Amino acid sequence: MTAQTRRPLYIRMLGDVRVRRQVGFDPEPRGSPPYLCIDFRTLHTCLGPLAGAADSAPERRVHRLLSFQRYLHSSRLLRGPPQQIPLHLLDEDYTGQARCMLDKVGSWNFDIFLFDKFTNGNSLITLTFHLLNQYGLVELFQLDVVKLWRFLVMVQEDYHSHNPYHNGVHAADVTQAMYCYMREPVLSKYLTSCDLLIGLLAAVTHDLGHPGVNQPFLIKTDHYLATLYKNTSVLENHHWKSAVGLLRETELLSHLPAEDSLNMERQLGSLILATDISQQNEYLSRFRTHLDQDDLCLSHAHHRHFILQMALKCADICNPCRPWELSKQWSEKVTEEFFHQGDIEKKHNLEVSPLCDRDKNTMGDIQIGFMSYVVEPLFSEWARFSDTRLSQTMLGHLGLNKASWGSLQLGQRQTSGPEEPAEPGGSGDPGVTTASGGTGPKDIPQGNRGS
């Protein structure tokens, strides 16, 4: 099987195409209850070994931030609406070190883990607030800063901090990457303030309320979300609806004309739904066709929106394109989340999902397959669209990181005995040809990696 035929196989297995074909895509009608009141902690409480882990730190943080809100609210009443929000007001949540880091927020080497430490675990709030403010979007859209702050606090809280990977730090990382992409010259000169606001909000909320398990898991456990969204883009629909719920609950956009805020909600949904990695092939082939025909005209809103979709997709799976030290940490976190799901499946006698078996899969195998069949094709096209130093840097890291995983895999095999025979027709790539470890491309799929 060639790489060309493996990729579609891999992509198809990321989502349950069979189920999608039976059901068809049927977006949730507008006017449905905007806030789902979902508590996925129930899922963890019932099934997960991490169940019941009391996490009082976020509560403390929220208390502190709410105190800040009260302060800000009173100061706002006294002094009127602020023009630029002085970030030093964030006091202990915003140290000098974090401020220094934000001076280089457009750097591809930006260490979001360090930034999260410097902000006492409030990286998503602090980063987003900074970017919105830097672009002047708070003033331009006349966003009520108290509502905005409340919205960001609630968003960060709705990311489950006990998820090893799909937590607020991942959302902050994606937001930082999205910012880097929106600054690229080929795109930035065309983006409107509305594009910037929607692009950032989509990055911030794109995994909101992620339960730490993937769509196939929700389907096979008859989770009500799978039923609600008819087995189609279950997680992405949930993220979108959760984001809309918080926007409406905090009334962040309620001062805008109803038509505008509804349109922004729809665009937000369109961007978030694009992160469903099971539809990667469709987006990638459309992107490739546009590039081949050289017919992208970014003065057209629908073309800009499509590129924002591609940018968010890139941002969502850019971990392998980061410097090794950052990339490796993400690999460890996502593998931990996969294996945690596998542990739950074993415990409940469910079929273990591909790549989720800690006894059969290795981090290196997972990473090399993911890089080869999902990341490389996407970022190669992105580099055609935006042929810049950033794109070359990302592809450079991708190649180096893949080689590093290959070396690590090779080292492990040499220390653990004779190498296992490669799968017939394999390319010789250690990450995609090992037969018994379940690491061939058929085992790579993980929709939640890119969701």
Q: Measured from the CB of residue 399, what is the shortest distance to Zn ion in angstroms?
A: 23
Does residue 376 interact with Zn ion by CB under 5 A?
no
Is residue 198 a contact partner of residue 247, using CB atoms and an 8 Å limit? no
CA nearest to 207, candidates 181, 232, 183, 241: 241
Query: Given the complex with Zn ion, which of 178 and 432 has the nearer CB atom?
Result: 178
Q: Measured from the CB of residue 451, what is the shortest distance to Zn ion in angstroms?
A: 6
Residue 210 labelled as part of a binding site: no
Residue 207 labelled as part of a binding site: yes
x-or-dash pattern for Zn ion, window 313-332, by CB under 5 A? ---x----------------
Residue 316 labelled as part of a binding site: yes
Please name the residue that has the structure tokens 């019932």: 46
From 61-69, 122-130, 189-197, 308-316, span contacting Zn ion (CB under 5 A)? 308-316
- Count of residues in contact with Zn ion, rule CB under 5 A: 2
Distance CA 239, CA 220 (A): 20
Please name the residue that has the structure tokens 């990341």: 375
H-type alpha helices, 110-214: 112-118, 123-134, 137-140, 145-158, 168-182, 185-188, 193-205
Please name the residue that has the structure tokens 């460890």: 332
Query: Given the complex with Zn ion, which of 143 and 174 has the nearer CB atom?
Result: 174
Query: Given the complex with Zn ion, which of 316 and 365 has the nearer CB atom?
Result: 316
Q: How many CA atoms lie within 13 A of 158 on its CB side?
A: 28
Does residue 276 interact with Zn ion by CB under 5 A?
no
Query: Given the complex with Zn ion, which of 64 and 162 has the nearer CB atom?
Result: 162
Is residue 106 a contact partner of residue 135, using CB atoms and an 8 Å limit? no
Q: Measured from the CB of residue 283, what is the shortest distance to Zn ion in angstroms?
A: 15
Query: Given the complex with Zn ion, which of 207 and 365 has the nearer CB atom?
Result: 207
x-or-dash pattern for Zn ion, window 214-243, by CB under 5 A? ------------------------------
Distance CA 403, CA 58 (A): 38
Is residue 295 a contact partner of residue 385, using CB atoms and an 8 Å limit? no
Q: Hey, what amino acid is at 269?
A: G
Is residue 203 a contact partner of residue 313, using CB atoms and an 8 Å limit? no
Tokens representing 405? 């995983």
Q: Is 73 exposed, middle or buried (0-12, 13-18, 19+ CB in 10 A)?
A: middle
Residue 367 labelled as part of a binding site: yes
Q: Measured from the CB of residue 237, what is the shortest distance to Zn ion in angstroms?
A: 14
Residue with CB nearest Zn ion?
207
Tokens representing 196? 């910037």
Is residue 174 a contact partner of residue 98, using CB atoms and an 8 Å limit? no
Q: Measured from the CB of residue 424, what is the shortest distance to Zn ion in angstroms?
A: 35
Contacting Zn ion within 185-214 (CB under 5 A): 207
Catalytic residues: 166
- Name the binding residues: 166-170, 206-207, 316, 367
- Name the binding residues for Zn(2+): 170, 206-207, 316
- Name the binding residues for AMP: 166-170, 207, 316, 367
Residues making contact with Zn ion (CB under 5 A): 207, 316
